[in-house]
Structure 1
Amino acid sequence: MMIKTIKALYTIKLLTFKGIFYLLMSFRSVGMNLMALLYVRQKLSPDQIAINENDNCINYRTLYTQSQHLAKKLAAHCDIKPHQKIAIMASNHTIMIQTLFAIARLGADIYLLNTELSAKQLQNIQDAVKFDWIIHDPQIPILIDVKSLPTDHPEQISIYSLLKDKMPPYSGNLKVTHFNKLTVLTSGTTGRFKMAGRNSKAQNFISPFYQLLMKLNLSKYNRIYIATPIYHGFGIATLCMSVLLGATIFINKRFDAAKVCQLINKHNIEVITLVPLMLSRIMNYSVTQLRSLRCIITGGAPIAVTLVQRTINQLGKVLFNLYGTSEAGICLIATPDDLITHPSTLGKPVKGLSAKLMNNGKEDAIKGELYIKCAWSTQGKNWTATGDIVQKDSANNYYLNGRADDMIVSGGENVYPYELEQCLVNHPDINDLTVISVNDEEFGQRLVAFVVLAAHTEQTEDTLIDWLKPQIARYQMPKKIYIIDELPMTHIGKVDRKQLINRYYELSKI
């Protein structure tokens, strides 16, 4: 293992004389923050393409110099200082990434916000945080009382105009800063949000990066597509990992299955990070165009057993399933070999992370709410509840049983939507599905399923109900099964349950 580690780090040039020298120099030149990653990489691989956005390419040297230039412009124009609170609301594009590195270089605390937040949700966050600035894509209206700067605008000063301004930006050298916070907002589209912030100490990146590097053999690849939004924890982790690897990062502002498949095929992309619904979409669009993929990394939501098996059967041993939390990042990893023998597993805990299951306040060896503890968590070395109900087998494989806060009481019985989902997903004619809970006058709450059928099937709600009856308990039976053409998807790539709940109440009135 030690030899394999040394070889991997040498391959990506980090464990070389130059790599170690530039790492030490980065702390003196730009500080211990995200910009240090870019400083090292632009020294080691200056001409390597860093970002490919719709075939508009920028190499690591240019990405670094432009991000440095932008940092100086933001210091002059916005007077951004260390430990100010700067929100970024932007989709995946080059300017967003440059902004991220520039703000880190200035030592300000960064808050990555969901681009689909409502004005009310944004105001609630502003009341709690008190941002000094919000940097946002121009199509996102900022309707709260806070200073704002668009990423681009035809008339106003914007990040783009600051990048293009060649005038001397700043009289003097930027102060070297260390350990600014990077905060990711979670659950923003549901109305119930929480913020998970972490500083840029080395341990917050080195241990998880090492786990990914070794288990996923990432040193072998240099073309990575980031399908998830960078403002999501999964996305920002992939960005940092890609810079450390010196890989070319492929991005698009929005996920489109056809464009993603075509991009993978055109550029022989080897690695993609995405959530299961995105994987399902590209597999349904064109498996043939995905043949160059050597490492598919899913996470952020449960993945169906049928999708796991289909991916491995059609693309080979390329699928890795990651389970993580906003507080700790990566917690469990399931390798292709794990998924072949246990297709529903979340994997095993990564090295350095402790896990336990709690049931009614007592530790349980088999099933309960998952608690995790690791040195790189935002909670330090304290146990943190994940909110997920998990089961563990004798080989230390973990399996998701549902969310603790998703449980409903239907006719006096405790019911989890996830259990019904796991049953329905085994139906051979169902391609996609999700289950929601709704209020019910008779039972208090009931489950409702939305399913997407495979082409040329003749299933109806009645035939699906008949198929379900012998497999689940009566209290788990859905109130309705709606057959729809496609599941609605949030910008993050998860099923938009809020939209489905609204659709149920609209349909129930008919």
Structure 2
Amino acid sequence: MAMRMFKLIYVLYQIRLLSLVAMFRLASAIYASGTNLMALLQFAARTYGDKIALADEQETLTYSQLFAQSKQLSAHLEKEYRLTGGKRVGFLCKNHASLVKAVYAVSFTGADIYLMNAEMSKDQLQGILARKDFHLVVYDDELSALLEQTTYMNAKLPSYHPTSSAINNLPITSDSEKQKQRRTSSGKLVLLTGGTTGKAKEAAHQPSLFNYLNPFSAFLTRLQILNKHTAYIATPIYHGYGVAVLLLFCALGKKVVIQRGFDAERACRLIREHQVDIVTVVPLMVHKMLKTNADDLKSLSCIASGGAELNPKLVQETQSQLGEVLYNLYGTSEAGLNIIAVPQDLTYSAHTIGRKINGVQLKVMDDQKVEAPIGSVGQICIRNNWSMRNKASAWIETGDLGYRDEKGYYFLRGRVDSMIVSAGENVFPFEVEQILLTHPFIEDAAVLGIADELFGQRLKAWIQLVPGTEMTKDELLDWLRVRLARFQLPKEISFVEHLPYTPLGKLDKKALI
């Protein structure tokens, strides 16, 4: 306990909370609101006041305004929808101010928060609604048709609407109504993970200051967050990465810029206009912004990339055009943030995901559930204090293959279910993809296993060429033969105009089959 308290004091000192005034504000916010996200926002409002907290396409809010409107919304939700601890609220929203206000407001009621993928299919949404039986769904108006196609019959509240009842035009709550709200403990924050098809997995997190000290401290120090002023969250808030950065920057009194969806041209313009110095992205976003207008990105001192593997060619291109500003973050919705590569790590190797952060126990396990030796590939398994709490085992199997080198750097080798056995040899499609991406004529590549009568399985490669270049299958195979083992060579090669990506920026290999 003494060590945990020392760590808490150290982190509070780092973010300049360790003063009598600041500590009093934090304690009084918790006393007034309870242990929930609203206490964090109340502290921020009292500490940072008229500093800009949030800016989207429709409004710009100071910390005082964001707190006041979130608290009024919370009173409305408690009165009209009877939200209390134990009830469940689903969110089907893209990035905007109404979503942020509602997340804080629902937390103040004590209800559980479920963040759903706004790009999901009708069948996936129907499955979630049937299993969770939400008491209320907060949704974007453009998704109303999707919601109406389901059997959901409980309360619904639009995030925005020009005339009807919605978060953006709810009546202001009277003082007498506001006084009726009680102190509460925050409910669960549940991330419904997975793609846009199939059954979503649940990653439930119970907020705890002590549990999150290590990732909080690592994010602060390794990314030098205290020196930043304005963040652009380009990744969806319904993804764990987006909501974590939103809450962190609230505690630090930083300005956060968001937009409903990612568009490279608008993103570049936002970064230039707001002089953004840190942006949260997936690699595909970085690629698109560099191609659109690299000059607009000159204010960036930190590009925090996560959610998908970094292309080593993209690492080199970013360093060439913007300098050492690219960071690679490895985490999962279930296990949270666990590994960080700073720019110097990516100079050591453009392929690395970095070194683990304090508080993480990490094992690379082989097929026999035995820890693999250094340099050998196995499944990455993680245990920490901030992982999801709806798992029977404390160790989380990430489903990612990887290895650790002798210097403590970690490297990915694809997914467990992507490895194939070809004529008795274990073959990792990810390794072949990484080699292909080093070819100067190849813009993007995907590799998958296919059935083969003679070898059991072989590889097939889908290749997207750099515009204006040409290459034949035989030319590519000749280039690969000196770089790959014979059993790694693709049996089939298909040249395509574009490779498919999910709305979260991950290569959608299912769409290739």
TM-score past 0.5 threshold: yes
SS of 2:141's equivalent in the other structure is coil
Structure 1 residue corresponding to 2:383, chosen from 347, 351, 373: 373
Alpha carbons of structure 1 residues 305 and 47: separation in structure 2 relative to 1, 3 Å: same
Judged with a 3 Å threshold, the aligned counterparts in structure 2 of structure 1 residues 144 and 448 are, in CA distance, closer, same or farther, namely farther
Tell whether 2:187 aligns with 1:184: no
Task: Decide whether aligned partners of structure 1 residues 19 and 437 sit closer, same or farther in structure 2, where only a CA change above 3 A counts.
Answer: farther
CA contact (8 A) 1:9 1:219 kept: no
Q: Which runs of 5+ in 1 are unaligned?
A: 502-510
Tell me which residue corresponds to 2:418: 406
Give the aligned partner of residue 60 of structure 2.
57
Q: Taking structure 1 as reference, are residues 480 and 394 closer, same or farther at Cα in structure 2, changes over 3 Å only?
A: same
Whole-Å Cα distance in 2 between the matches of residues 190 and 52 of structure 1? 31
Letter in 1 for 2:167: I
Task: Confirm or deny that 1:308 pairs with 2:311.
Answer: no
- Residue 384 of structure 1 is aligned with which of 388, 391, 396? 396
The alpha-carbon distance between structure 1 residues 65 and 429, as it changes in their structure 2 partners (threshold 3 A), is same
Instruction: Between 135-144 and 245-254, report the one with greater CA deviation.
Output: 135-144
Counterpart residue identity of residue 364, structure 1:
A
Q: CA RMSD in A?
A: 2.6
Q: Distance in 2 between matches of 1:435 and 1:84?
A: 44
**Counterparts of residues 167-316 of structure 1 (less than 5 Å):** 170=177, 172-316=179-323
Q: CA deviation at 1:67?
A: 0.4
Distance of 1:34 and 1:444 partners within structure 2:
53
Q: Indicate the residue corresponding to 1:23 in structure 2.
A: 26
User: Does residue 431 of structure 1 match 2:443?
Assistant: yes
The equivalent of 1:361 in structure 2 is 369
Which of 314, 331, 338 aligns to 1:324? It is 331
* Residue equivalent to 2:351: 344
Task: Report the CA distance between 1:404 and its aligned residue.
Answer: 0.8
CA deviations 1:131-178 (Å, max 9, x no partner) are: 22221111212123242222123454222232x445678374212111
Match among 79, 100, 103 for residue 76 of structure 1: 79
How far does residue 446 in structure 1 lie from its aligned partner after superposition? 4.7
Alpha-carbon displacement from aligned partner over 1:357-416 (angstroms, at most 9, x marks no partner): 111121122232111111222259922211111111111111111111222345665433
* Counterpart Cα distance in 2 of 1:190 and 1:75: 33
Q: Secondary structure at the match of 1:457?
A: coil
TM-score (norm 2): 0.90
Range that drifts further, 147-156 or 242-251: 147-156
The alpha carbon displacement at 1:17 in A equals 2.3
Match of residue 493, structure 1, among 491, 501, 505:
505
Report the counterpart of residue 152 of structure 1 in structure 2: 160
Of 227-236 and 129-138, more deviation after overlay is shown by 129-138
The answer for unaligned runs of 5 or more in structure 2 is: 1-7
**How far 1:8 moved relative to its partner?**
8.5
Distance 1:436 1:494 in 2: 15
Which amino acid in 2 is paired with 1:266? E
CA distance in 2, matches of 1:180, 1:204: 16
Report Cα offsets for 1:289-313 as digits up to 9, x if no partner: 2111001111111111111122123
- 1:454 and 2:457 aligned: no
| Letter aligned with residue 467 of structure 2 | A
**What SS does the corresponding residue of 2:444 show, helix, strand or coil?**
strand
Cα contact 1:254–1:491 (8 A) shared by 2: no
Range moving further from structure 2, 201-210 or 265-274: 201-210
Q: TM-score, normalised by structure 1?
A: 0.91
Q: Secondary structure at the match of 1:277?
A: helix
Residue 225 of structure 1 deviates from its aligned partner by 0.6
Deviation at 1:495, TM superposition (A): 2.4
Count of residue pairs the alignment pairs up: 498
Identity %: 39
Structure 2 CA distance, aligned partners of 1:192 and 1:466? 42
Counterpart secondary structure, 1:287: helix
